[in-house]
Amino acid sequence: MRIIRTIAEVRAAVRDARNQDRTVGLVPTMGAFHAGHLSLMREARANNDLVVVSLFVNPTQFGANEDLSSYPRDEERDAGLAEQSGVDILFAPEPAEIYPDGFATTIHISGITDVLDGASRGAHHFDGVATVVAKLFGIVAPDVAYFGQKDAQQVLVVRRLVRDLNLDVRIEACPIVREADGLAMSSRNVYLDADARAQATALNRALDAAQTLAETGERDADALTAAARTVLTAAGITPEYLELRDAETLQPVTRLDGEGLLAVAARVGAARLIDNHILRSADRRGDA
């Protein structure tokens, strides 16, 4: 595996692969790899000739009071895990390489960025995500890019980016990888002490409660979210948001017809965590 720091070098490596008619897969990350990241790398490895993983803690998607300075970083460990997963290139640029002096362009996607994490964290968050992803697509020019379904809203934002700008890349969303107790894998889980770690399992249990209720035939959005909220309240968690939205448009829904995205964000101990389930109405379970 090669560790590459500059745009010129990674473009040259991709160009060489293209000249040999090799396909290119990209896994965009901010590092602090866990099993979820590694599953994306393995998926990319299984389906592409050249696998590029970007490792870049993107400053533009963090707000003034968020955890940019403390975000977990361990490039040596990450590089070892990436190599073990069959990655060919770890693209690990410095911020000035991605955002040179005078950088003045931001991509804003309306609508789907205005709710959930967009409303909770602010418009800057998805502006930063869309801008850096567009840059990575322009730099690497992948055939396929891999994202985790845990960041469900981010996946939808990236799909809209690709559609609206006619970018020639296919987006693959891979399933959430969970700990044995159901907690969704996250780089921010390292912030959790033992008590908060146990408390955090309530997020997935809350979503499970709503899913179980949906499987009985309940379709009322308020009833489904209430079932989830009861579990969170019992665990002492007050969510930043807990909402059932259309799984494609993120429009609010009052009734589960077909599929809906039940998404939650909450601060647990020192960590802000997110999770989601795709709920299916009882008559659609066989379509899963």
Catalytic residues: 37
CA distance 173 to 82: 19
User: Among residues 180, 174, 229, which one has the least CA distance to residue 203?
Assistant: 229
| Sequence letter at residue 229 | R
Residues 6+ apart with CB under 8 A from 14: 24, 50, 52, 140, 141
CA distance 156 to 246: 11
What's the sign of the alpha-carbon dihedral 106, 112, 117, 122? positive
Is residue 161 within 8 A of residue 107, CB to CB? The reply is yes
User: Among residues 248, 250, 242, which one has the least CA distance to residue 210?
Assistant: 242
Helix boundaries (H) for 141-179: 152-164
End-to-end Cα spacing for the chain = 37
